[in-house]
Amino acid sequence: MNEEIGSVQLAIIGSGFGGLGAGVMALEQGIDSFVILERSKAVGGTWRDNTYPGCACDIPSNLYSFSFAQNPRWSRSYPAQPEIEEYLERITDHYALRSRLRFGFDVENLSWNEGERCWVITSRDGDTVKASAVISATGPLSQPSVPDLPGLDVFEGEIFHSAAWRHDIDLTGARVGVVGTGASAIQLVPAIADTVEHLDVFQRTPPWILPRDDRPTPKWRQRLYRAVPFLQRLHRWRVYFRQEFLALAFLGSGKIAQGMTKRIIEETKSLIEESFDDPAVAETLVPHYTPGCKRLLISNDWYASLAKDNVELISASIEEVTQTGVRTSDGVEHDLDVLVLATGFAVASFPSPLRIIGRDGIDLADHWSNGASTDFGLTVSGYPNLWFLAGPGTGLGHNSIVFMIEVQLEHISRALRFMQKSSVRVLDLRPEVEASSYAELQKRVAKTVWTSGCSSWYVSPGGQVDTIWPGTTTEYWWRARRFDPDRYVLSPGRFGEITLDR
């Protein structure tokens, strides 16, 4: 049954890091009328959905958390999925956000109503919410990417994506195939290799891999961080600047970049040589693209797992999926009981999964048909009072996206504060600002490693690199920290007031 659940000043879409952070921001801003719309039955976003064996973060735990809510309980240097999900649940309870959450509201459409000067948000079940402003926090890792493999529908065994892991399927003694050698695969393959009878890993392109400096956090350190939070904050900043230094390998071709690239190549080859003596086999594991062009991965057990007697790395391309397994381009039939698609996410498919209709009835997908143009990944001309978190042009290859989200939330907070104090009802980005901002981003990204010739999820279907911020996070903070009303067309009125046009 369709249901209209009312009007709010602010609607937040998603309850991962971005959505929960936006909820905390709204409370601190004094916005009493807001709702967090969540399609699932629990908070957590990607850290709720991805529960495959070995799932963990590749950013150190003390940095992959909110600066305003440090967590002295981290049990390891790099947090595993259950700990991150638990952390987000605690954030929800600590800031009393559950009363603001509307679970089971799977947003399908946003449509700007010019007469009422508000967004009309419609769920896939037909429920509606009207909001003066919207923050989209759907996250870049919310849509699993399923490869277009011939025969996927004829396979008689079990098949699923790594982001929708089937815990009801026992892999003990099974013949399992894993498609992909990306971030998910290098975690789940070592986690299941000793359980299965045989494991085929289908590799399209090998990744560059660095060692993972992961270790348990001593109890005394957890107690120290609880007693003296400042010490944890100091450690957080140390980790932040260490990660920030990695950006130098991606952003140019100077001596520092060359030196870091050489180090990445040497460390990857060293890890390979520790597990493989045969040069011919080792050669199939060495990438032939510049480090950083695809996502850099970290692991201590990937190559050791591939070297196990019951694991086979298959570099021949997949020709088709059959009833009993997979046939590769070399004519070999690989019999399987289970096929796991560790094929990542549709990161560059903006603005999916949402359909957004702005002023003059223009679909945002059409507006972005030649590139996902924004101003700092936050706002788009013709789509007033709408902000994106972790949106186009703000992804990272080296540091914590949580840092970026906090910078963006501070910017949005300043914008909302301006609207409230200056009696501004509608903010709409000037088209010339959007065009200039996007042109600068594309000019800068053309000089980075992400345009050096490889095929990666950083590149949009149109060939643009619309996903990545081509600079350091420090620079992003400096440039996006302030809200400049001159970049917008302002419409006077009382923010949050919706004139019902019925």
Q: Which of 292, 314, 341 is the last residue of a domain?
A: 341
CA atoms of 4 and 336, how far apart (whole Å) = 48
**Could you tell me if 160 and 271 lie in one domain?**
yes
In a domain, 229, yes or no: no
**Could you tell me if 359 and 384 lie in one domain?**
yes
In a domain, 235, yes or no: no
**Could you tell me if 185 and 314 lie in one domain?**
yes
Tokens standing for residue 131: 């909001």
**Could you tell me if 172 and 266 lie in one domain?**
yes
In a domain, 109, yes or no: yes
**Which residues constitute the domain of residue 282?**
152-208+251-341
Question: What pLDDT, on a 0 to 100 scale, did the predictor assign at position 249?
Answer: 77
User: Is the model's pLDDT at 142 over the cut of 80?
Assistant: no
Alpha carbon distances (Å) from 61 to 71, 296, 327, 386: 9, 18, 41, 31
- For the stretch 49-99, pLDDT in tens is 999 999 999 999 999 999 999 999 999 999 999 999 999 999 999 999 999
**Percent of the chain at pLDDT above 70?**
97
- Which amino acid would we find at residue 245? F
- For the stretch 412-422, pLDDT in tens is 999 999 999 99
Average pLDDT on 207-222 reads 94
Question: What pLDDT, on a 0 to 100 scale, did the predictor assign at position 500?
Answer: 45
In a domain, 233, yes or no: no
Q: Is 431 helix (H, G, I), strand (E, B) or coil?
A: helix
What is the pTM for the complete model shown?
0.94
**Could you tell me if 291 and 331 lie in one domain?**
yes
- For the stretch 175-200, pLDDT in tens is 999 999 999 999 999 999 999 999 99
**Could you tell me if 120 and 192 lie in one domain?**
no
Label residue 498 by pLDDT band (50, 70, 90): low
Q: Which residues contact 254 (CB under 8 A, 6 or more apart)?
A: none
- For the stretch 446-482, pLDDT in tens is 888 888 877 777 777 777 888 899 999 999 999 998 9
In a domain, 214, yes or no: no
**Could you tell me if 335 and 353 lie in one domain?**
no
Tokens standing for residue 237: 């900043």
Q: Which of 341, 365, 396 is the last residue of a domain?
A: 341
Residue with the bigger pLDDT between 280 and 320: it is: 320
User: Is the model's pLDDT at 409 over the cut of 70?
Assistant: yes
**Could you tell me if 257 and 115 lie in one domain?**
no
The stretches of 30-184 forming alpha helices (DSSP H) are 46-49, 81-94
Kindly give the pairing relationship between strand 128-136 and strand 118-123: antiparallel
**Could you tell me if 330 and 437 lie in one domain?**
no
Phi, psi of 416 (to 5 degrees): -65, -40
Identify each DSSP E strand in 39-162 by its residue range. Answer: 101-103, 107-113, 118-123, 128-136, 158-161
Question: What pLDDT, on a 0 to 100 scale, did the predictor assign at position 65?
Answer: 96
Label residue 118 by pLDDT band (50, 70, 90): very high
Tokens standing for residue 469: 């911020």
Question: What pLDDT, on a 0 to 100 scale, did the predictor assign at position 410?
Answer: 97
Q: Which of 341, 376, 393 is the last residue of a domain?
A: 341
Question: What pLDDT, on a 0 to 100 scale, did the predictor assign at position 502?
Answer: 33
- For the stretch 258-300, pLDDT in tens is 888 899 999 999 999 999 988 888 889 999 988 888 889 999 9
Label residue 4 by pLDDT band (50, 70, 90): low
Label residue 501 by pLDDT band (50, 70, 90): very low
In a domain, 24, yes or no: yes
Cβ pair 401, 390 in contact under 8 A: yes
Average pLDDT on 404-419 reads 97
Question: What pLDDT, on a 0 to 100 scale, did the predictor assign at position 144?
Answer: 84
Lowest model confidence (mean pLDDT) among 30-44, 344-358, 372-386, 407-421: 344-358
- For the stretch 34-45, pLDDT in tens is 999 999 999 999
**pLDDT, averaged across the chain:** 92
User: Is the model's pLDDT at 486 over the cut of 80?
Assistant: yes
Q: How many separate domains does the chain show?
A: 2
**Could you tell me if 363 and 291 lie in one domain?**
no
**Could you tell me if 352 and 456 lie in one domain?**
yes
In a domain, 215, yes or no: no
CA atoms of 287 and 210, how far apart (whole Å) = 13
CA atoms of 379 and 372, how far apart (whole Å) = 11
- For the stretch 6-20, pLDDT in tens is 899 999 999 999 999
User: Is the model's pLDDT at 117 over the cut of 90?
Assistant: yes
Average pLDDT on 160-173 reads 96
Q: What distance lies between CA 15 and its chain's CA centroid?
A: 13
**Percent of the chain at pLDDT above 90?**
79
Question: What pLDDT, on a 0 to 100 scale, did the predictor assign at position 460?
Answer: 75
**Could you tell me if 192 and 308 lie in one domain?**
yes
Domain harbouring 328, CATH code:
3.50.50.60
Phi, psi of 161 (to 5 degrees): -85, 150
218 exposure class (CB count in 10 Å sphere: 0-12, 13-18, 19+): exposed
Average pLDDT on 392-408 reads 94
User: Is the model's pLDDT at 1 over the cut of 60?
Assistant: no
In a domain, 232, yes or no: no
